Amino acid sequence: MRAVDYVTHGFGGPTLPIAGVLPPGVSLNAPIQVRVENAVAGYQVPLSAIKAAVITYNQLGPAGFKKTLAYVDAIEDAGGALIRMFPNMLAQLNGPMAGLIYKRGVNGILNAAASRIGLTPLSSEIAGTIRERLNRIPDSSTDPKSQFERMVPFYISSMRTWVGHLVDGIR
């Protein structure tokens, strides 16, 4: 075998089709995407999050979903820790510039969880959705928490459940 064959064919291994050459609608990841879609059915998970889950699986395998679930847990743990560290924060959420204080607090929670656990493509997608909704709240809002809760999509409010389904169902 020539050197070019080693590089091209990987020492005699099977040759896979190049992703850009596949017919439209056909994907090498179709089986995992179907399994992800089945695991998250009923939670209104958008296609961007499903694709992020497929990328997470391709990069890290089932451990990627466990890491994402650990991130979700860390978000919830960081929320309690933030209140314990800054007990006067709740009182500030009813005053002027409460929106700014709330956004800083939630961003702190997301950053603390990311630094503690690390990010996967799926947890990055989740954090991006939360930040995008958070940025819609004006800094001068006087009731940012209820405003944010009204904006959060169902799949974010139920992320612990459907990410748990991914951990349990995708192997």
**Mean pLDDT, the chain, whole residue set:** 82
**pLDDT above 70 as % of the chain:** 82
Q: Please give the pLDDT value at position 30.
A: 56
Residues in the chain: 171
Q: For residue range 24-58, what is the model confidence (pLDDT) as tens digits?
A: 544 555 589 999 999 999 999 999 999 999 999 99
Q: Where does the pLDDT of residue 88 fall: very low under 50, low under 70, confident under 90, or very high at 90 and above?
A: confident
User: What Cα–Cα distance (Å) separates residue 38 from each residue in 43, 93, 161?
Assistant: 10, 39, 14
User: What Cα–Cα distance (Å) separates residue 58 from each residue in 22, 33, 113, 160, 170?
Assistant: 18, 11, 23, 21, 12
pTM score of the predicted model: 0.77
